[in-house]
Copies of this chain bind each other. A is one copy, B any other.
Amino acid sequence: MRFADLLSQEEVLRIHEASIEILEVVGMLVRNEGARKIFAAHGCRVNSEHSLVRIPREVVEKYRRLFVPEFTFTGRDPDFDRTLPHDRPVIVTGSSAPNIIDRKSGVQRRATSSDIADIAFLINELRGFDIFSISTLADDAPKDQFSLSRFYPALKNCLKPVRSNTPHMKDLMDVLELGFIIAGGEEAYREHPLINHHYCPVVSPLTMDIESTEAVTYLTKEKLPVYGTIVPNAGITSPMTLVGSLALGNAEFLALGVMQQMIQPETPLIYAVLSTVADMRTGAYVPGAIETGIMQMAHSQMAHYYNVPSGGYIGLTNAHVNDAQSGYETGMNTTAALLAGTDLFNMGGLLGSLMTFDFAKAVIDDEIAMMLKRLIRGVEYSEVDLALDLIGEIGPGGNYMESTHTIEHMRSSSFFPDVATRDMRETWTAAGRKDAAARALHRAQEILTKDNPAIFSLDTDEQIRSRFKGLVSGDAGWQD
């Protein structure tokens, strides 16, 4: 497939040039002292009093040439490892929602660690999803186990690569230790890490924070998988014009990417964004807007220019229920991103932008993910598939339904959905007039009332629980 491009090649070069100018003239406010030292040691002009880092053109150009074109996510089961861009589209759940729609009452409440266990199990079983980015927070987390209460139920119930963040270094160290135990030791873990780290160290406009930046610098140095997402919000934290916001976000990506190369040359990274345009009628945050898709397309084109994998939080919705809005917002922006060559999609399971997880939404998004995976295959061409002999044989006015060719190709030509109804209205009415959300929730229940194949061995679990006293149970509980 040749991807759609929104920008001319000249415009791409101009955005790059503008980003260079921003980094060189305006600079970045770098609140993390260690990061400032890294920039200073690699040719940048650092004003310590104002924590301002200006990155000269030649420094950006030198280090961005070290970017590598691939990024691999690794999981408990190496069969689920995924490499960008080769395995695109790689589909990731949306992450870190504070709330969940209770599956029994349908009412929103705070999410807990056992919700995370359920969600991890579900994502393990839904083949549209490749990576489990831990979907919610855990309101029941014991003191000092904020992150363990998320990573433990996630890793315990999912063989696919798990991705998430941590609020500070202490939590990061705990989570890594959890990983070492699961992997059977630090060496084995470093050989094949099963946690994939993700942060938002850049706070637009042009600022790097303290804690997330600390985590990124540490993990980069340790050669553990980590990448950052850039989140400019046009009209509030970046210019209202799309091209202005694009240049700013692109400069921010370069600052972070270049810093990682200074720490460790050829560190894999992802050009990942959640680049939005605010609804200035109210100042509302609107990741479901079509402008989010447009910005993702443009950022993907810049990623192609730098020859790095492209990804982002794309496919979020502002809807609070699984209505038509939830469907078209997720569907349109992911389709636009796919056709612009986005490799990685953070898209599954959230309603109300990033505020709440919903089981039915996750199952619906799995189906959208499968449609994207069908779409990327496009029209597969071969002389055999062209079937000119068959067209002659069936002739004008004939029927292809019973030909061997039809039976041989019916499964490879089409994606067969589980959630979408294809019944006639009469049949659908007789079956109870269920909408997509009701059918999706039923499918979640079918999956989550089976045995979970991902659960830890007793031995591993005992080691973990004896190391981290008072840990949440980490067990899926749909049967309750």
Residues of chain A whose beta carbon lies under 8 Å from any beta carbon of chain B = 1-8, 11, 14, 18, 21-22, 25-29, 52, 108, 203, 205-207, 234-244, 246-248, 277, 279-284, 286, 288-291, 293-295, 297-298, 318-332, 334-336, 339-340, 352, 355-356, 361, 364, 367-368, 371, 374-375, 378-382, 385-388, 390-392, 394-401, 405-410, 413-417, 419-425, 428-429, 433, 435-437, 440
Contact = CB atoms under 8 A, between A and B. Distances in A.
A1 B11 contact: no
Contact of A241 (B288, B368, B385): B385
B385 A244 contact: yes
23 contacts: A3-B4, A7-B378, A22-B392, A26-B395, A29-B397, A205-B391, A205-B400, A206-B396, A239-B406, A241-B385, A241-B387, A243-B379, A243-B387, A289-B414, A290-B375, A291-B374, A294-B379, A318-B420, A320-B428, A322-B323, A324-B361, A324-B437, A325-B421
A397 B207 contact: yes
A336 B378 CA distance: 11
B1 A394 contact: no
A45 to B, nearest CB: 14
A203 B283 CA distance: 52
Contacts of A25: 392
A241 B323 contact: no
Minimum-distance CB pairs A-B, first 7: A327-B327, A328-B331, A29-B396, A244-B387, A324-B327, A206-B396, A331-B331
B385 A243 contact: yes
Contact of A322 (B279, B324, B361, B395): B324
A379 B290 CA distance: 12
B325 A419 contact: yes
Contact of A413 (B7, B291, B382, B399): B291
Contacts of A368: 328, 332
A199 to B, nearest CB: 18
Contacts of A27: 396
Given A18-B386, A26-B396, A328-B371, 17 more contacts: A4-B339, A29-B397, A108-B425, A234-B400, A243-B379, A243-B380, A244-B385, A280-B410, A293-B375, A318-B422, A321-B433, A323-B323, A324-B324, A325-B420, A325-B436, A327-B327, A335-B339
Given A318-B420, A339-B4, A386-B247, A205 B375 contact: no
Contacts of A339: 4, 335-336, 339-340
Given A280-B406, A294-B378, A325-B421, A397 B437 contact: no
A301 to B, nearest CB: 9
Contacts of A335: 293, 331-332, 335-336, 339
In this complex, the member of A52, A240, A356, A397 whose beta carbon has the largest number of chain B beta carbons within 10 angstroms is: A240
Contacts of A205: 391, 394-398, 400
A28 B425 contact: no
A328 B325 contact: no
A222 to B, nearest CB: 28
A38 B203 CA distance: 69
A436 B76 CA distance: 40
A323 B386 CA distance: 37
Contact of A386 (B2, B244, B355, B364): B244
Nearest to A367: B328
A379 B7 contact: yes
B279 A422 contact: yes
Nearest to A370: B290
A382 B18 CA distance: 12
A455 to B, nearest CB: 31
B396 A290 contact: no
A440 B379 CA distance: 36
Nearest to A390: B239
Contacts of A400: 205, 234-240
Given A241-B385, A324-B322, A324-B364, A329 B289 contact: no
B26 A392 contact: yes
A28 B331 contact: no
B108 A391 contact: no
Contacts of A374: 290-291, 294
A418 to B, nearest CB: 11
A318 B325 CA distance: 16
A320 to B, nearest CB: 5
Contacts of A417: 289
B379 A240 contact: no
